[in-house]
Structures are given as structure tokens and as C-alpha cells.
Structure 1
Amino acid sequence: MNRRRSGFTLIELLVVIAIISLLSSVVIASLNTARLKGREAKRQAEIASVMRAISLYRLDNPGSYPPIGGDLHGCTTNTCLSVLTDELVPKYIQEIPMDPKFGNTSTGYRYCRSGSYPNEYAILRQSEKTGAWCSVQTPAPVSGTFCWHTAGVPTYPRCN
């Protein structure tokens, strides 16, 4: 009896499944990296739009950046960008941006301002990759203590 079998052996199927699994894991890793870079780019664009809105606010209110309710020397959750809603929305910006990963205005971004130095402010953003905070700020003062700066030494590194 000479029967000829057609089809795949179990070994051949396992090899194909292993190759497909390996390729799909490489693709998924690449997609996650691309998503992370996309969210970081979105953060940078959103901060730029908030900074433009703050600049427009200052043009309409000479010598003044939006208040945050006093002189804050430590950035806490009370300084999240949502404190700017009453001052900036809708006249200067359509809405306060939300962190692209967490989807709310109370994480990811912070607004810091000193009552002692009204010509300075900083916007801090949190890196999704490292979790570290970095600052996008006006020129740093050479003295004073701020949530982002102490006597000429940055508390947070500059954002790239």
C-alpha cells in the first residue's frame, strides 16, 4: 500500500507559527515606539499652543502672566494646566490640552509661576518614557526659589 499524504506535518506548522510570532512581536515593538514618539510630539505641540495662548494673554494684560492663586515654590498637582482654564479658554486657546496618554488635564503638564517675579513662568511636562519632569520656560532668573529654579540652578532639565 503506497498512500501519498498531502498536507503539513506538525513540525512544519510549529515552525511557521514560531516565525509568525517572532515577526509580530517585532512589529508590535516598533508600533509601540512609534506611538510613544507620536505622543511626545503631541505634548510638544500642545505646550507650544499653551505658550502662545499665555503670550496673547500677556499682550492683553501688560506685564502679567495668568495667575495661579499666589506664589508657589513647589510644583504640586495644584499647578496643573487646568488652573489656566478661566484665564485662557476660549479667548486665547480653544481648550486646555490633555495628556495624550492619561486623557486628563491634571496629569502630564504643570504651570508654575512666581508671585515675586511676575515676568517668569514655566510649563513642566512629564516624559512618558522616563517619568521625569522637564521644563519649558521663560528665561530663568538668577536668584529666587521657584518650582522650576533655585538661585540660577534649574530644578528640572530643559525639555528637548
Structure 2
Amino acid sequence: MKNLTGKSRGRRGFTLVELLVVIVIIGILASLMVGLSGTASRKMRESRTRAELVAIETAIGAYKSKFGHYPPCNPKDPALNSLYYELTGCLYSPARKTFRDPKVGTVMKVQAIKEHFGVEGFINTARSERELKQFYEPTAKTVSRISEEHGDDDSAEGPKKHHADEVHVLCVPVPWPLERDDQPVRHHGKVAKGVNPWRYVVGQSVVNNIGKYDLWAEIVVGDEVLVISNWRKETFSREQLSRYYKKKKRN
């Protein structure tokens, strides 16, 4: 029907109150999305870490079945342990008294091993690769190389490149944030940025799994450091970690 007055009806715009309501609703939805995204990211990190925890526990169990004891730990530093070498195996030369990593070819003497890992050598060794017992297959995400020759821009992931003085450690599949000041590992006094190793304690120093071993990971989620361990099913804050283990952290 035509407008008899000859005037067209103008469209009614939003009032200020209506605009404010819409803005508030958008803000609420955005905050919910951010919260859900953060929760999903945390669960994904925890899931990946727990899966790797089970894999390492399985490897340690197979190691114990073979040798009758658990792999040794570093009595001075749970984070700088020799699990990588014990679970993947090393070639030993009795004549030279050296240990060679068959994956990258680096050679270490007993003194260097003692300085790095607090042990007199590696137990899981053989004279040929055919004789080696490999209990764990590391990937680029689960092993990091540490060397004083590495610069800050040199990625530490994986065993591809190597230097004569480098060592390898099993790492959590969630890297340590580069911007944090509390980097877990030092090598020859130099901070190994981004390296997030598995912490491992066995023997009389064990606090939780008496008679066995304590194995745990620390991951950063936001501003909080969370612990995933083999003695508690749930994830917990690092503030709840044993004071004894906190004292063993390197300064």
C-alpha cells in the first residue's frame, strides 16, 4: 500500500543502549573463546606429555628386566641425566675407554660423562651396533642436544647436527619458553635455552616412589609451571613439588 502522505518511512537506527548491549555480548563471547582455547591448549600439552611419560616408563621397565636395576641418575641434577644414552645404547671401545653415540657419532670419555651426568660411564653398551639394546626410539621432539658451541639461534632439537663437546638429553615434547629466566639446563656454565628435560631420580634420593624411581616433567602454561609425574595421576603446580627436589635445581 502506498504511503498516502507521500513521505517515505525512515529506518529506525540502534539506540545507544542497544549498541552497548551488543558490545557487552561480543566481549563475553570473545572472553569465552579465549578461555576455551587456553583450556584446549593446556589439555593438549598435558596429553602429549603424559603419553611420552608412559613411553619412557615402558622403556625403563624393559631396561630393568634386562639389567636387573633401573638406569642411574645424576645425584647433583635430576634434569641433566643420562636416560638418553642408557635407553638408546652406546658403543664402547675398551682400548680407548670411550663411549660413542651411534646415532650422531659423538665420542665421550669417562671424565666428560662424569662431569655432565655424575656417573662413571654408561651401562647399556656394546662393541657393535648389532649387539646394542635399544629400549626407546627418540624423535626430534623428544631429544635435545646441548653444546657450549651452540649459539642462541641454533636449534637444539634432534640429533642432526653435532659438535665434539655436545651431549643429549631426553626432553619433554613441550619446549621451555625462551623468554623465561628459569631455564632448566646449564652446560659448562651456559644456559641451554628452550631445553626442557625429563627430571629423573633413582636410589636413596627418591622422595615419592620409594624403592623405584621418580620421573617427572615441568611444563609452562601461561605464567604457571605444572608438574606431570609418575607418582600422581593429576597434574599439579610446581609449588607442590618436594622441597628436596627444588633444592637440587641448578642456579
The TM-score bracket by the shorter chain reads: 0.5 to 0.7
Q: CA shift at 1:45, angstroms?
A: 1.7
Report if the CA contact (8 A) 1:36-1:128 is conserved: no
Give the structure with the higher percent strand.
Answer: 2
Q: CA shift at 1:78, angstroms?
A: 1.9
Within a 5 Å distance, the mapping from 1:44-59 to structure 2 comes to: 44-59=50-65
2:198 corresponds to: 109
1:78 corresponds to: 80
- Gaps of at least 5 residues in structure 1 are 138-147
Report if the CA contact (8 A) 1:99-1:105 is conserved: no
1:94-137 CA distances to partner (integer Å, 9 max, x unpaired)?
216343442698426311223899x6322022264653546425
Give the structure with the higher percent helix.
Answer: 1
Aligned-residue sequence identity (percent) comes to 26
1:141 corresponds to: none
Report the structure number with the largest CA radius of gyration.
2
1:131 corresponds to: 225
Q: CA shift at 1:50, angstroms?
A: 0.3
1:25 corresponds to: 31
- Gaps of at least 5 residues in structure 2 are 1-5, 90-133, 143-170, 177-192, 232-240, 246-251
C-alpha separation between the residues in 1 aligned to 2:244 and 2:205? Answer: 18
In the alignment, structure 1 residue 88 sits paired with structure 2 residue 161: no
The one-letter code sitting in structure 1 at the alignment partner of 2:64 is R
C-alpha separation between the residues in 2 aligned to 1:7 and 1:27? Answer: 32
> Cα–Cα, structure 1 residues 89 and 5, in superposed 2: closer, same or farther, change >3 Å?
farther
The one-letter code sitting in structure 2 at the alignment partner of 1:64 is H
TM-score by length of 2: 0.41
C-alpha separation between the residues in 2 aligned to 1:16 and 1:116? Answer: 59
C-alpha separation between the residues in 1 aligned to 2:175 and 2:19? Answer: 41
